[in-house]
């Protein structure tokens, strides 16, 4: 499984993705100097949400690599000329400049920055997608794979029969059962419980049996960022179904009253989900969380509520989520969930 630490350790790997500077603006808007080409050390520190000292220390350790990607320090007449051309105002006798390649280089070297980590994840996502695009004349599945697919269909068929045939049969019998009505209701409840547990067991078994390396993190976030809002909602519904949820309904764009998906968890709790496919550099704010709290708890009477976003949450929004019992599925948690790690609240 490829993870972002690979870029921290391998200069060869960093060099292979150095042209993908567009990743910077996908993760967070990068402000440039008036020349439209460079940023200063202070601007780099602001972008990565770290101290200036952290950037200066990184430059000290990796100066040769950064210089190879355009980093340079101006002084003397060269600095004077740059100030005249760019319009920058500075009394400093020297000025460090970073082109976009050097800023991306910093992202692949800076350990203690969530922004840098997201940039590394995005780079590996793009590489993974590029390497896994379907090609013509792909090989046919082997016998073991075909048997696994058949077993999967049998399990799905059993749960389908329980939910769509046996339970309705009990419903019909209960209406005309008279003195045996109570016993039939108990039996129906038992069948519904078995159905839910079978779905949950099958989902967990498949996750345990599949090798972890077959569920890489790479490719996860780039694929979701490329989705439309509607596609993202259906993708989240697929994850819920994978983790044993039933009665999943993806609500329409109009009239959803602040909730995008409703469902039942594997153990029968009412679930409400809000989905936001936002750009990675944006944030979910407290007013958005407050609106969802009202919709999920009051309008939908949910037992479990998820606010799923492809970006991060402001500290105020996280505080409201914690107080209201809302699970904030931020970008990092969503990445792990999509890769196969079940959300704690759904277990």
The domain that holds 236 is classified in CATH as 3.40.1350.10
pTM above 0.75, yes or no: no
Clarify whether residues 59 and 123 are in a common domain. Answer: yes
Last residue of one domain, picked from the residues 105, 131, 157: 131
In a domain? residue 216? no
- Token representation of residue 238: 């697929």
C-alpha distances out from residue 29 to 16, 32, 47, Å: 23, 10, 8
Clarify whether residues 164 and 114 are in a common domain. Answer: no
- Token representation of residue 75: 């002084």
In a domain? residue 215? no
In a domain? residue 219? no
In a domain? residue 30? yes
CB 48 within 8 A of CB 107: yes
Give the model's pLDDT for residue 164: 62
Clarify whether residues 174 and 280 are in a common domain. Answer: no
Clarify whether residues 168 and 90 are in a common domain. Answer: no
Q: From first to last of the 347 residues of the chain, give the pLDDT tens digit.
A: 456 678 888 888 888 888 888 888 888 888 888 777 889 999 999 999 999 999 999 999 999 999 999 999 999 988 888 887 776 777 788 999 999 999 999 999 999 898 999 888 888 777 666 555 554 444 545 444 444 444 455 555 566 565 666 666 767 666 666 666 777 777 777 777 776 666 666 665 555 444 444 444 445 677 788 888 888 999 999 999 998 899 999 986 655 678 999 999 988 999 999 999 988 888 999 999 999 998 888 888 999 999 999 999 999 999 999 999 999 999 889 988 988 888 999 98
Q: Which residues of 238-272 are buried (b: 16+ CB within 10 A; e: fewer)?
A: ebbeebbbbebebbeeeeeebbbbbbbbbeeebbb
Clarify whether residues 230 and 329 are in a common domain. Answer: yes
In a domain? residue 186? yes
In a domain? residue 91? yes
In a domain? residue 218? no
Clarify whether residues 160 and 249 are in a common domain. Answer: no
Clarify whether residues 196 and 251 are in a common domain. Answer: no
Give the model's pLDDT for residue 4: 67
Clarify whether residues 170 and 254 are in a common domain. Answer: no
Please spell the DSSP secondary structure of 97-150, one letter per residue. EEEHHHHHHHHTT--S-HHHHHHHHHHHHHHHHHHS---TTPPPP-HHHHHHHH
Last residue of one domain, picked from the residues 188, 210, 232: 210
- What backbone torsions phi and psi does residue 140 show, to the nearest 5 degrees? -75, 150
In a domain? residue 136? no
Last residue of one domain, picked from the residues 153, 176, 210: 210
C-alpha distances out from residue 232 to 47, 228, 274, Å: 28, 6, 11
Residue span of the structural domain in which 204 resides: 143-210
Clarify whether residues 122 and 179 are in a common domain. Answer: no
Give the model's pLDDT for residue 92: 82
Clarify whether residues 121 and 151 are in a common domain. Answer: no
Clarify whether residues 176 and 252 are in a common domain. Answer: no
Clarify whether residues 155 and 87 are in a common domain. Answer: no
- Count of the separate structural domains present in the chain: 3
């Amino acid at each position: 499984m490829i993870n972002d630490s690979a870029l921290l350790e391998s200069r060869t790997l960093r060099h292979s993705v150095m042209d993908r500077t567009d990743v910077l603006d996908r993760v967070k808007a990068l402000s440039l100097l008036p020349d439209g080409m460079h940023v200063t050390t202070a601007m780099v520190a602001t972008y990565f949400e770290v101290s200036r000292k952290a950037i200066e220390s990184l430059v000290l350790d990796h100066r040769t690599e950064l210089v190879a990607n355009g980093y340079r320090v101006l002084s003397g007449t060269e600095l004077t000329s740059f100030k005249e051309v760019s319009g920058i105002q500075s009394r400093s006798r020297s000025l460090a400049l970073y082109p976009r390649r050097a800023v991306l280089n910093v992202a692949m070297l800076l350990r203690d920055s969530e922004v840098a980590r997201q940039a590394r994840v995005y780079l590996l996502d793009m590489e993974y997608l590029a390497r896994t695009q379907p090609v013509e004349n792909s090989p046919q599945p082997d016998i073991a794979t075909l048997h696994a697919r058949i077993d999967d269909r049998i399990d799905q068929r059993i749960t389908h029969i329980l939910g769509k045939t046996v339970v309705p049969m009990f419903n019909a019998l209960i209406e005309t059962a008279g003195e045996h009505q109570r016993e039939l209701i108990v039996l129906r409840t038992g069948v519904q419980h078995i159905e839910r547990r079978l779905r949950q067991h099958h989902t967990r078994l498949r996750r345990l049996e599949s090798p972890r390396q077959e569920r890489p993190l790479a490719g996860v976030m780039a694929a979701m960022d490329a989705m439309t809002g509607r596609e993202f909602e259906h993708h989240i519904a697929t994850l819920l179904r994978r983790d044993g949820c039933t009665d999943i309904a993806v609500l329409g764009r109009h009239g959803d009253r602040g909730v995008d998906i409703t469902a039942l968890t594997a153990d029968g709790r009412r679930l409400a989900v809000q989905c936001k496919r936002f750009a990675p550099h944006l944030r979910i704010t407290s007013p958005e969380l407050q609106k969802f709290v009202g919709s999920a708890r009051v309008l939908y009477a949910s037992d479990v509520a998820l606010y799923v976003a492809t970006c991060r949450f402001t500290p105020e929004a996280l505080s409201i989520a914690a107080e209201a019992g809302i699970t904030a599925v931020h970008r990092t948690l969503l990445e792990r969930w999509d890769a196969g790690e079940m959300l704690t609240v759904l277990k």
